[in-house]
Amino acid sequence: MFLHNRVNHEELRKRIQEDKTPRTTLSFYRYVILDNPAEMRDALYREWNQLGVLGRIYIAREGINAQLSVPTANYSAFRSIIDSRLEFKDVPFKIAVEDDGKSFFLLSIKVRKKIVADGLDDNAFDVTNVGKHLTAEEFNAAMESPETIVVDMRNHYEAEVGRFEGAVTPDVDTFREELPWVVENLKDKKDKKVLMYCTGGIRCEKASAYLRHHGFKDVNQLHGGIISYAQEIKQKGIPSKFKGKNFVFDERLGERITEDIISECHQCGEKCDTHTNCANVDCNLLFIQCENCRTSFEGCCSSECVDIVHLPMEKQKELRKGKTHPYTNMIFRKGRLRPDGRQLQKFTLSR
């Protein structure tokens, strides 16, 4: 048995789109010492592949971080397999808020140095000295105080489409950048109550310990992140203080929490919160695009990219050969510069 995917990605995408099998999308993480991450990785691949699991999973000596989907008929079997391992027994599953069963198209399990890229030296502080975990109800109540500081521990493009009311939203691209940003910009608020939140809770585990290490006195984190918050407020009929969409790192690129649309199309400025990647695979810019602009720009971020996607595929490959595209894998940021010095805003509005 091969312990990795051997099928073309486009073919896998086509298969999952045509597959009518009901699937359940979920995520989970756990910080736990794994003696042999590579061995664990191979064992999980064998077990999960047999159950039809698809997803993106990172394993490291410090634990596991998993986002995946499983055929709904195999959900109980998957839960049993997880609980059969002492390292993962009873780990909480966070079930997706919106789920069309198309969130993932292949199974990818990778061994990494860390399960979240944070850039920290874990030996420099006590990573177990985390903040207090709050339920959705407790989080809402704590937000009522005007003295409370609410911090979004996600990247700027995640907060752009959905966030808690009045939250501090750092203008950063990565979690690695965000940690020192928060410590520096909130250094005069170390005696305030700090509420932290992220998608599923994993980033706040490390971030809350990092803030406590830097002298923040009252650090709290949303238990289970936005995903668990959305489930709890729905079950209990609690008003949502989170507005908009929860950005997710899979094929969906977002799940709606409330009907509020708090962002704009990056091309025309109309109210919109639909993320997409530029149809020019050599660009792949992540940006927000409304339906009208999607039609006008043919799913691209600019007229330049429209011109490229109209070229024969062989010509496109020829243009990419041996070159590093100046804005490959970039994320749209108004007013920020591309590596070649041009503004992303002017670039994306060029058509």
Positions annotated as catalytic residues are 198
Q: What phi and psi values does residue 222 have, to the nearest 5 degrees? A: -75, 115
Cβ(250)–Cβ(103) below 8 Å: yes
Quote the tokens at residue 173. Answer: 């691209």
Query: Rounded to an integer, what distance in angstroms lies between the CA atom of residue 107 and that of residue 47?
Result: 12
Nearest to 31 by CA among 118, 150, 108: 118
Rg (alpha carbons) of the chain, rounded to whole number: 21
- The strands making up 255-256's β-sheet, listed across from edge to edge, are 162-164, 242-246, 255-256
Query: Rounded to an integer, what distance in angstroms lies between the CA atom of residue 154 and that of residue 182?
Result: 11
Helix (H) or strand (E) segment spanning residue 316 = helix 313-320
DSSP code per residue over 242-297 = EEEEE--SSTT--EESSS----B-TTT--B---EEE-SSTTT--EEE--HHHHHHT
Q: What sign does the dihedral 80-110-15-306 (CA atoms) show?
A: positive
